Structures are given as C-alpha cells and as structure tokens.
Amino acid sequence: MMSTRSSVLLTVVTVTLATGPIRAAEALILPQTLEREGQHHLAALEYRRLALGETDAPHAGRWYWLAAHAYAAGNDWPLAGRMLDQAEDLAPLELAVPLSWLRAEQALAERDWASAEFYFESLGHAADAAAWREVAHRGRAAARLYRGDIAGAGLGLEGEPLEAVENYAAGRNRKPWVGGLLGLVPGLGYGYSGETGNALRSLFLNSLFIWGLVETAEDDQWAVFSVLAFAEFTWYSGSIYGGIDAAHRYNQRRLDQAVKRIRGESRPRPSPVLVPVLTLRFDF
C-alpha cells in the first residue's frame, strides 16, 4: 500500500499536469480581450507566445495564423505576412483555406491585384463550404475590378455583387489630364471632380496671394513680394496637381464603393470559443 506521503505527492503531480489545458484556456483570455480592445499588436504577440509554447506543429500553425489575423486587423500586413509564412510552414494542409483567404486579403491591402486574384481562385478551389466559395468569388471579382478587367469581374457573380459591377461599368470616370488642365484656373480642377469646398478654398487662396503680389509690387516691397511669389507658386502648382489628384481620387472612390458593394460588409472571423481548433464564422 502506498504511503500517505506518496499519495499526496502523486495527487499534487496529477493536479499539476491536469491544470495544463486549463492554463492554456486561461492564456486565451488575454489575446482575445486585447483584440476586443483594438490592441491588435499586443494580441498578436500573445498568440505568438502561445505558438512558441506549443509542441504540436498544426496547433502552433493555428496560433501563428491567429497572430497573422491580429496583425492584419491592426493593418500591419508585412508582419501578418511573416506570421502566415510560419503558419504555412507548420500546417500547410490543415490551414490551406484560411491561409489562402488571408494571403488574398494581404495582396488586396498591398495593391497586388494579380496575387489577390490568384489566392482568391486558390481559395475557391480548396474550399468545400459554400460560404468560402462565396468569399472567393466576390474577392476574385474585386481583384479583377481593381485590375481594370470589368468583364472578368462579373463572371460567376449574381445578385447584388453583379449589380455593383454593372453599375460601375455604366458609370464614368474623371479624366486626370482634364482635371490638370482645368486646374490652370485655380479651383476649377477640384470643381471638375465635384470637390466644391476645395475649389472655393483654392480660388480664395490664389486670389489672396495674387492680390498680395500686386500690392507689394506696387509698393516696391520686393522682399515680401519674393516670399509671396514663392507661396503663390506653391498654391498655383498645388491647384494643377490638385486637379489631377482630385480626378484620381474621384475614380478611386468610385472603384472602392463598387468593390465594397461586391464584397459585402462582413468578413470571416475566427471563433473565439473553439480556438485553437480554427473555426471561421461568416455573416453574409
């Protein structure tokens, strides 16, 4: 029969070992709280810590994927990319679908439209769930639209996303060179792209400084004149540049609005309950 001391010791060891998973579950509370508070970098750091303490490769890969997701939420795509590399090394097959999705999002954020299209297509091929395929189709359409392939963007879409592509195709872009040319008359370049407030401010500032130039020239105040001339040259060149940039902004806004409609408001997000068994929820 085992002595009382030994029994106590064994009980202590058993309890110590058994509390391991409980501690792991407790460790999850911190990164999730940090994510809720918007402290994505700190949350990612906690996930990385959990990954380093993990002996099972696929589980460690999932932690790295969650770190990538947290970095992505904090708009730090280079670090998100590094974490995705780690996750891909550790669990390439288990995480094929979420990896493709986050890679595609990274490519979109980094304006690498060709890669984004490739990853969304990979996602469409790898995913079994209809929700994932929907994400893939919409994402691929967005990437194609950004690339300027309007006809290709509509392929495989239906309903609201298709309507968004058609509306975009029917609309008209502003021509940057026209904006620049109109910008020779201060304010008109902004006005061409519908930025009335900016147009009025540009007109007012240019008029004010030109008036100042005339007044100082009449009074032979050449030192002040040269300072004002430098400032007026800046405002005037700014008006031309602004006319071009406003046209680009207008076109970009139109494109972004179309993409927003195509992709919908919601994105997949990891389940906070089932981590590290990675489950993604959709809210279409």
Partner 1 sequence: MEPTRTPTTRRRPGHAGRGAATLLLATLVAWSAQGSGKAADALSLAEALAAEGQWSLAGAECRRVLLGVPDTATAGRARLLAARAQARRPDAGAAAVAALEELWRNADLDTEIRCAAAVEWGRLWAAEAPREAGDALNFAYFQTRDTATFHQAGRALFALLRKNRALRREQPLAWQTLQSCRGTWPADSMAVRPPSTRFTWQTLPGRLIGGFYRRQIGPAIGMRCELHPSCSAYLLEACQAHGLLGFSLLADRLVREPSVAAAREQTVTLPDGRTRTADPLRAHDFWMGATP
115 in contact with partner 1 (CB under 8 A)? no
Q: Write the CA distances from 219 to 46, 152, 206, 223, 226, integer angstroms.
A: 68, 64, 20, 11, 13
Q: Which of 69, 99, 245, 261 binds partner 1 (CB under 8 A)?
A: 245
In whole angstroms, how close is the CB of 68 to partner 1 at the nearest point?
13
CA distance 78 to 269: 20
Interacting residues of 205 by C-beta distance below 8 A, sequence separation 6+: 186, 235
Reading the block at residue 3, the tokens are: 């002595």
237 in contact with partner 1 (CB under 8 A)? yes
Q: Which of 151, 118, 101 lies closest to 263 in space, CA to CA?
A: 101
| Span near partner 1 by CB under 8 A; candidates 11-19, 161-169, 221-229, 271-279 | 11-19
254 in contact with partner 1 (CB under 8 A)? no
Size of interface with partner 1, in residues (CB under 8 A): 37
Q: Which of 134, 163, 166, 241 binds partner 1 (CB under 8 A)?
A: 241
Nearer to partner 1, 20 or 159 (CB): 20
Residue 3 three-state SS? coil
CA distance 99 to 82: 12
Residues 180, 185, 189: CA angle, nearest 5 degrees:
40
Q: Give the strand pairing for 280-281 and 269-270.
A: antiparallel
End-to-end CA distance of the chain: 63
Residue 281 three-state SS? strand
Reading the block at residue 80, the tokens are: 């998100």
155 in contact with partner 1 (CB under 8 A)? no
Q: Is 185 within 8 Å of 179 (Cβ atoms)?
A: no
Nearer to partner 1, 100 or 202 (CB): 202
Reading the block at residue 164, the tokens are: 């968004």
| Site string (22-41) toward partner 1, x via CB under 8 A | -------------------x
| Site string (188-217) toward partner 1, x via CB under 8 A | --x----x-xx--xx--x------------
| Site string (55-84) toward partner 1, x via CB under 8 A | ------------------------x--x--
Where on the chain is the footprint of partner 1 (CB under 8 A)? 2-3, 5-6, 9-10, 12-13, 16, 41, 45, 48-49, 52-53, 79, 82, 111, 176, 190, 195, 197-198, 201-202, 205, 234-235, 237-242, 245, 248-249
